[in-house]
């Protein structure tokens, strides 16, 4: 007996199945897929075929436990981002790190956590530092598997009789990650070394307890330690609930059935995804590029070499194969930069995931099966796949969100072509503004804030309905802006108003969803640093089928003002900026005006009673605005979604001066005039292209950021350069 025990002690222990290491399991799984094109090489699904009902029962139990873990755990968090706005997500993975099922929430992370698990396996964590029952791992590194550093993941292995049978993963969006500027979407960092706290798949606990050194280290590294600590407990509690649920299921169903199930469910979902693509979409190649600006030329607080205006280029191509395959290609994206907007393939895969769960697959098993049926090309060296790990990623979302607008527009066209008109959505508005900053708050504490009201921006229009007004965002269909009284608990700024943003919705036969705006006043703080984050000089979400984009943003602040005096006189004070020109405030209050299109900037000091306008953007429209039903425009005007002036100018709808009903005769005349005006200006596309080629392209009449953008894309991608030259019929020697 003794001898046997000794042999057992010295034999290498593996946590994988059948004596393999987890790393071997991952290699085997990838090899089987590469060879067969099917998950684990499965050509039949014996468990499902023998008993489809039991198969569904197991799935429904697992998913139920994930949803339950999220609903229960989010109550532990103190952060309004997590508790009120639901910025958390839980997922169950296979031993190799493929997602089996997930809760609702920020679904972008289902795949990012998958990458993190695979990173640990590839780097033989099983050997060192060890992957043991009760261990806890944490990750937030986008180069491993994440979008930006403020999304922090907790990963817990699930053991059954000495084998890893899965992983539980949880992610929360934390309030601050300790980067060189405060807040969870830091715009200040230019390299990894300013991004703040990095936890690149770190073992942070054992025996179900967090290591004290990890806890202390993190608390000292971020500006909001209390929120950090409760968020980490939230993630951990959720992971432990999932683990318990999986173990209970195995006790009932047996380990062999469970193992078979997690294999089959991935292949089953892959097949189902392929079928859906075939059913819902018309095959073809869809192009939908996007752009977003950041004007840093005058940012004195940035290092000298990074002070310039930049324009992101996302040359988005979606290919839908007749056999149901779906490929996304970013060939032509410009070089990564010295800013915090860089993305990684992991982030891009996450975003692809988000778009798919909202559009093609909400009614099906949501798991990594879809990942196996899609391809994603992220050219190396570009901002979607930097060829160095020194890049900053604090606000990767800034580029990521517009770049995937192309996905919604392309799917919209493909749905429409197939006849699924009710599924069309033109995308979303840009997810700004983010009111962000830090300083000493109204409780007298060091603090950082990232206001998540931007999880409710205007949605894109569809073909049979207007866009959803101020209630969702690309990265979270379950948006919520929270209560004024909740935000004022954590931010030293009062709301002087929260209202619909007139003319923010993209015009169209179906208009985009409206945005809204909040006028904020600094309160009970000596000094606080705040910044604006959002698109400014360009719009990032065009409409489709002739619909207009939602309005791009601007920044407005009124500093060193005389509001104290205004209040004392009981004189009217500003509650918004309805005309987007600052007048509503400047007519009433004297002060130093900040009003321009530099809608993303670095934190700057604000003082007591300074005003800050936070404007959440509107969504893009669908179809020609002149085709919009006039009475619908009248309703929009009454609700101040559209101004009477824009109704006339863009929709051609004239309203009665009193009562606001449609003036039929004037409207008919106005529409006629607009159409005649269009006809007068119109030239054949061929002629327009020829003229543009001469006066713009050949003359190289580009603004500096546009020229930089072209140069970068052409240098990095000869293929894209060739396409550009071919489109404009340019000589091979053409360079910008």
Partner 1 sequence: MEGGMAADRAVREPRILAIDAGGTMTDTIIIDRSGDFVIGKAQTTPEDESIAIARSAEDAFDYWKLPLRDGMGSVVAGVYSGTAMLNRLLERRGQRVGVIVTRGMEDYFKLERGVQTHLGLSYSDRLHVVTHRHSVPLVPKSRIRGVGGRVDMFGNEAIPVYEEDARKAVHDLLDEKVEAICVSLVFSYRNPSHEQAVGRIAEEVMAERGQRVPVMLSSVICPTRLDFPRLNTVVIEAYAAEPSRRQLFRVREKFRDLGASFEPRIMASHGGTISMEAGQLVKTLVSGPIGGVVGVKYLADKIGIDNIVCSDIGGTSFDLALITGGEYALKNDPSIEHFKLNLPLLELDSVGAGTGSFVRINPLSQRIEIGPDSAGSRIGLCYAEGKVDTVSITDCNVVLGTINPDYFLGGEIKIDRDKAIEGVRKQIAEPLKLSVERAASGVIELFEESLRQAVITKVLGRGFEPVSYSLCSYGGGGPLHVGGYTEGIPFRDVLVPAWAAGFSAFGCACADYEYRFERQMDLAIPPKSSAEERHSLGQRINEAWGVLSDEVHAEFAKSGIARSQVRIKPYVRLQYMGQLNDLEVASPVDRIRQTGDFEKIIEAFEETYDRVYARSARSPELGYFVTRLVATGIVDCEKPALPNDALAGETPSDSAFKAVRKIFWRTQTIDARIYQMEELRAGNVIEGLAVVESPATTFVVPPGRRARLDAHRIFHLS
68-97 residues in contact with partner 1 (CB under 8 A) are 68, 71-73, 75-80, 83-84
Q: Select from 94, 99, 104, 374 the one that contacts partner 1 (CB under 8 A).
A: 104
- How many Å apart are CA 602 and CA 301, to the nearest integer? 7
> What residues contact 343, with CB distance under 8 A and at least 6 apart?
142, 147, 383, 384, 385, 393, 396, 399, 400, 403
Q: Nearer Cβ to partner 1, position 269 or 713?
A: 269
365 binds partner 1 (CB under 8 A): yes
Q: Is 440 in the site for partner 1 (CB under 8 A)?
A: no
How many of the other CB atoms lie within 10 Å of CB of 306? 14
In this structure, the number of other CB atoms found within 10 A of the CB of residue 251 comes to 11
Sign of CA dihedral 6, 12, 14, 17: negative
Give 268's contacts (C-beta < 8 A, 6+ positions apart): 45, 48, 55, 365, 369
Q: Does 479 bind partner 1 (CB under 8 A)?
A: yes
How far CA 317 is from CA of 281, 290, 352, 398, 406, in Å, comes to: 15, 11, 12, 19, 8
DSSP 466: P
Among 495, 532, 539, 548, binds partner 1 (CB under 8 A): 495
Of 236, 537, 626, 630, the one binding partner 1 (CB under 8 A) is 236
Cα 596 to Cα 69, 295, 539, 557, distances in angstroms: 45, 11, 15, 10
Is the C-alpha dihedral spanning 443, 445, 450, 452 positive or negative? negative
CB nearer partner 1, residue 418 or residue 465: 465
Q: Does the protein bind partner 1 through residue 231 (CB under 8 A)? A: no
Q: Per rule CB under 8 A, is residue 676 in the interface with partner 1? A: no
Please tell me whether residue 208 binds partner 1 under the rule CB under 8 A. Answer: yes
Q: In Å, how far are 156, 198, 236, 238, 503 from 202, measured between CA atoms?
A: 12, 9, 14, 19, 48
At its nearest, how many Å lie between partner 1 and the CB of residue 502? 11
Q: Report in angstroms how near the CB of residue 131 gets to partner 1 at its nearest.
A: 20
Binding mask 134-163 for partner 1 (x = CB under 8 A): ------------------------------
Give yes or no for residue 523 binding partner 1 (CB under 8 A).
yes
Which one among 425, 507, 611, 647 touches partner 1, defined by CB under 8 A?
425
Say whether residue 481 binds partner 1 (CB under 8 A): yes
Under the binding rule (CB under 8 A), the answer on residue 227 touching partner 1 is: yes
User: CA 728, CA 119: separation in Å to the nearest integer?
Assistant: 44
Calculate the CA 358 to chain-centre distance. 13
Neighbours of 441 (CB within 10 A): 18
- Any idea what DSSP says for residue 356? H
Q: Tell me the C-alpha distance between 386 and 380, whole Å.
A: 6
Q: How far apart are CA 215 and CA 196, in angstroms?
A: 16
CB 165 to partner 1: min, Å: 19
Q: Does 67 bind partner 1 (CB under 8 A)?
A: yes
Binds partner 1 (CB under 8 A): choice among 6, 36, 123, 279: 279
* Single residue of 153, 181, 185, 234 touching partner 1 by CB under 8 A: 234
Least separation in angstroms between CB 493 and partner 1: 10
Q: Does 364 bind partner 1 (CB under 8 A)?
A: yes
213 sits near partner 1 (criterion: CB under 8 A)? no
Tokens 């890049």 locate to: 391
Site for partner 1 contains 57 (CB under 8 A): yes
Structure tokens given for 217:
């280290």
Dist CA 74 CA 731 (whole Å): 59
Q: Is 478 in the site for partner 1 (CB under 8 A)?
A: yes
The span of 137-145, 146-154, 180-188, 229-237 binding partner 1 (CB under 8 A) equals 229-237
- CA-CA-CA-CA dihedral for 57, 63, 69, 74, to nearest 10: -150
- Is 53 a binding residue for partner 1 by CB under 8 A? The answer is yes
The answer to the question of residue 472 lying near partner 1 (CB under 8 A) is yes
Interface size with partner 1, residues (CB under 8 A): 98
Residue 61 sits in the site that holds partner 1 (CB under 8 A): yes
Hey, which residues between 238 and 267 contact partner 1 (CB under 8 A)?
A: 240-241, 244-245, 248, 252
Among 440, 496, 604, 674, binds partner 1 (CB under 8 A): 496
642 lies in the site for partner 1, by CB under 8 A: no
Per-residue contact track with partner 1, 333 to 362, x per CB under 8 A? Answer: ------------------------xx---x
* Spatial separation of the C-alpha atoms in residues 375 and 378, rounded to whole Å: 10
By beta-carbon proximity to partner 1, the closer residue of 298 and 422 is 422
The residue among 64 and 130 lying less far from partner 1, judged by its C-beta, is: 64
**Quick one: 19 or 52, whose CB is closer to partner 1?**
52
Least spacing, CB of residue 540 vs partner 1, in Å: 18
451 lies in the binding site for partner 1 (CB under 8 A): no
> How far apart are CB 193 and partner 1 at their closest, in Å?
30
Query: In angstroms, what CA-CA distances link 651 with 214, 462, 644, 671, 680?
Result: 59, 18, 10, 8, 18
Measure the CA–CA gap between 622 and 412, rounded to whole angstroms.
10
According to CB under 8 A, which residues from 556 to 595 bind partner 1? 567-568, 570, 572-573, 575-576
Which of these segments, 65-73, 258-266, 372-380, 681-689, binds partner 1 (CB under 8 A)? Answer: 65-73
Q: Which is nearer to partner 1, 298 or 483 (CB)?
A: 483
Closest listed residue to residue 389, CA positions, set 193, 203, 202:
193
Task: Enumerate the β-bridge partners of residue 170.
Answer: 90, 154
Nearer to partner 1, 318 or 366 (CB): 366
Residue of 393, 442, 511, 617 that binds partner 1 (CB under 8 A): 442
Tell me which residues in 497-516 interact with partner 1 (CB under 8 A).
Answer: 497-500, 516
Nearer to partner 1, 214 or 307 (CB): 214
Closest to partner 1 by CB, 493 vs 507, is 493
Tell me the two tokens of residue 195.
Answer: 């991004």
Where does this chain touch partner 1 (CB under 8 A) — which range of 56-64, 167-175, 532-540, 623-631?
A: 56-64
Which three-class secondary structure state does DSSP give residue 54? helix
Largest CA distance in the chain: 101
For partner 1, which is the closer residue by CB, 483 or 701?
A: 483
How far apart, in whole angstroms, are the C-alpha atoms of residue 617 and residue 620?
A: 10
Q: Tell which residue, 587, 569, 585, 589, has the closest CA to residue 577.
A: 585
In terms of CB distance, is 215 or 593 closer to partner 1? 215
Closer to partner 1 by CB, 312 or 518: give it: 518
Spatial strand order in the sheet of 611-616: 493-500, 516-522, 611-616, 555-559, 592-596
Residues 366-405 that bind partner 1 (CB under 8 A): 366
């Amino acid at each position: 007996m003794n001898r046997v025990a000794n042999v057992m002690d010295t034999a290498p222990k593996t946590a994988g199945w059948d004596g393999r290491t987890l790393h071997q399991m991952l290699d085997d799984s990838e090899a089987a897929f590469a060879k067969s094109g099917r998950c684990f090489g499965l050509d039949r699904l014996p468990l499902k075929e023998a008993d489809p009902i039991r198969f569904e029962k197991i799935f429904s139990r697992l998913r139920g436990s994930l949803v339950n873990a999220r609903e229960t755990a989010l109550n532990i968090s103190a952060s309004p981002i997590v508790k009120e706005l639901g910025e958390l997500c839980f997922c169950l993975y296979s031993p190799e790190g493929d997602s089996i099922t997930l809760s609702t929430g920020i679904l972008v992370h289902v795949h990012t956590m998958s990458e993190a698990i695979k990173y640990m396996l590839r780097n033989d964590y099983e050997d060192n530092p060890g992957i043991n029952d009760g261990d806890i791992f944490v990750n937030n590194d986008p180069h491993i598997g994440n979008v930006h550093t403020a999304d922090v993941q907790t990963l817990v292995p699930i053991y059954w009789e000495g084998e890893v049978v899965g992983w539980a993963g949880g992610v929360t969006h934390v309030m601050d990650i300790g980067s060189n500027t405060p807040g969870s979407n830091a715009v200040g960092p230019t390299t990894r070394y300013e991004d703040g706290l990095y936890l690149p798949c770190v073992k942070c606990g054992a025996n179900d307890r967090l290591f004290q050194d990890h806890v202390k280290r993190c608390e000292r590294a971020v500006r909001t330690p209390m929120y950090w600590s409760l968020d980490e407990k939230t993630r951990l509690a959720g992971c432990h609930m999932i683990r318990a649920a999986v173990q209970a299921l195995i006790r009932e169903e047996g380990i062999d059935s469970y193992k078979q199930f997690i294999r089959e469910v991935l292949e089953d979902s892959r097949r189902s995804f392929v079928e859906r693509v075939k059913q819902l979409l018309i095959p073809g190649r869809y192009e939908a590029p996007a752009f977003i600006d950041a004007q840093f030329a005058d940012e004195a607080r940035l290092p000298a070499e990074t002070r310039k205006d930049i324009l992101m280029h996302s040359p988005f191509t979606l290919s839908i194969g007749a056999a149901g395959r779906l490929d996304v290609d970013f060939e032509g994206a410009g070089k990564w930069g010295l800013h915090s907007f860089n993305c990684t393939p992991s982030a891009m895969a996450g975003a692809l995931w988000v778009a798919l769960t909202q559009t093609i697959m909400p009614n099906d098993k949501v798991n990594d099966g879809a990942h196996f049926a899609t391809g994603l090309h992220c050219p190396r060296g570009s901002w979607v796949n930097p060829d160095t790990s020194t890049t900053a990623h604090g606000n990767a979302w800034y580029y990521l969100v517009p770049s995937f607008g192309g996905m919604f527009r392309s799917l919209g066209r493909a749905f429409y072509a197939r006849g699924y008109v009710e599924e069309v959505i033109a995308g979303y508005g840009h997810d700004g503004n983010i009111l962000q900053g830090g300083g000493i708050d109204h409780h007298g504490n060091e603090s950082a804030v990232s206001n998540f009201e931007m999880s409710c921006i205007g949605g894109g229009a569809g073909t049979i309905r207007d866009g959803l007004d101020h209630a969702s965002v690309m990265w979270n269909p379950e948006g919520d802006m929270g209560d004024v009284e909740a935000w004022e608990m954590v931010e030293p700024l009062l709301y002087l108003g929260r209202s619909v943003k007139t003319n923010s919705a993209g015009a169209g036969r179906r208009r985009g969803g409206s945005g809204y705006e909040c006028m904020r006043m600094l309160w009970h703080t000596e000094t606080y640093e705040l910044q604006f984050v959002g698109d400014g000089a360009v719009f990032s979400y065009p409409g489709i089928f002739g619909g207009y984009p939602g309005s791009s943003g601007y920044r407005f602040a009124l500093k060193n003002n005389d509001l104290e005096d205004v209040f004392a006189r009981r004189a009217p004070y500003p509650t918004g900026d309805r005309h987007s020109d600052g007048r509503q405030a400047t007519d009433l209050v004297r002060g130093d005006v900040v009003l321009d299109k530099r809608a993303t900037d670095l934190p700057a000091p604000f003082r007591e009673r300074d005003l800050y306008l936070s404007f959440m953007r509107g969504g893009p429209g669908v179809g020609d605005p002149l085709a919009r039903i006039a009475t619908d425009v009248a309703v929009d005007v009454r609700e101040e979604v559209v101004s009477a002036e824009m109704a006339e100018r863009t929709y051609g709808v004239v309203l009665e001066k009193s009562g606001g009903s449609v003036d039929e005769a004037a409207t008919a005349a106005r529409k006629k005039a607009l159409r005649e005006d269009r006809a007068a200006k119109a030239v054949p596309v061929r002629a327009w292209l020829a003229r543009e080629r001469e006066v713009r392209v050949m003359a190289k009449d580009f603004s500096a950021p546009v020229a930089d953008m072209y140069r970068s894309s052409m240098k990095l991608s000869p293929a894209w350069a060739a396409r550009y030259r071919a489109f404009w019929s340019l000589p091979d020697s053409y360079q910008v």
